[in-house]
Amino acid sequence: MTSAGDGRARLSRAGLWTIGGTAVHMAFGVLASILAARILGATHFGELSIVRTTFFTVTLLTGASLGTASSHIVAKLHGSDPERTGRVIGLLLNFVLVTGVAAMVAGVMLAGWVARKFGAPQLTGIFTATAPYIVFASLSAVHIGVLTGLEAFGAASMLLALEGVLTGIMIVIAAHLNGVAGAALAMMVAAALTLAGRNRVLKHECRRRGIVIHHRHVGAEFPLIRAVARVWPRRASLRLARARHSGPRIPWARGVGNLQRRLRLGLRGSGGACAGDETIDADPD
């Protein structure tokens, strides 16, 4: 098979895994929302939606865009330089951990102000208790990006599907038992459990490829993070602006599109087309 044909086959296989995992994730998300709305009623479901949307927005700023950059960087390096790949992965995880914890602390300190701004001061305690969700979700975004860069498409997609199933079931059960507070806490616990699963799978995939993740003495790779940091806030701000001004969009189509772009970056990088390019793709999407 030619290199072009091999690339098309890999992209098709990755696309099938991505669409399947995303479809399951989104389907259970929609079903859980419907059931939670029936259990909680309009007012309390609106409160849960405020909590979820706020945390999703913060996570977009702290980790989601960095996950796309992670897939690009890892795809370029893992085949040719496993030692450096381990340092880069460790640095990316350290970086997103620091930003996630900073965002969590800010969220706890501003919980009362945010709740009042939404006209729902009763949500202050929920915002405070579930703030660790920001850290878990931000780290998961980078784990997804790294797994995609390693071309572990099956593992990444199965974990995405499992996350949708687990989160949906836990939110519905917790909403029935303890209302909005229970559903929000269930969302946080599900994020922690799926992060633990992704971390275990990531270590396994790295061992298979002879990659050792280093969390210390990784300062030499910091220029790479600076390159990411120049693009990352701009991507996030553009996404927020589009979400605010472009009107309704189909959630599952957006999710598939984002993951497919991430896969294309990973396959392009691992194929060697960008082997000498140390810059980060500044695609505003």
pLDDT at 186: 95
Which tops the pLDDT comparison, 263 or 209?
209
Give residue 179's region: left, alpha or beta (phi > 0; psi -120 to 50): left
Question: In 3D, which of 245, 140, 133 has the Cα closest to residue 197?
Answer: 140
Q: Of how many residues is the chain composed?
A: 285
For residue range 215-226, list pLDDT tens digits in order: 877 667 767 666
For residue range 97-112, list pLDDT tens digits in order: 999 999 999 999 999 9
For residue range 177-198, list pLDDT tens digits in order: 999 999 999 999 999 999 999 9
Which residue is associated with the tokens 């806490």? 185
In the chain, the N- to C-terminal Cα span, in Å, equals 33
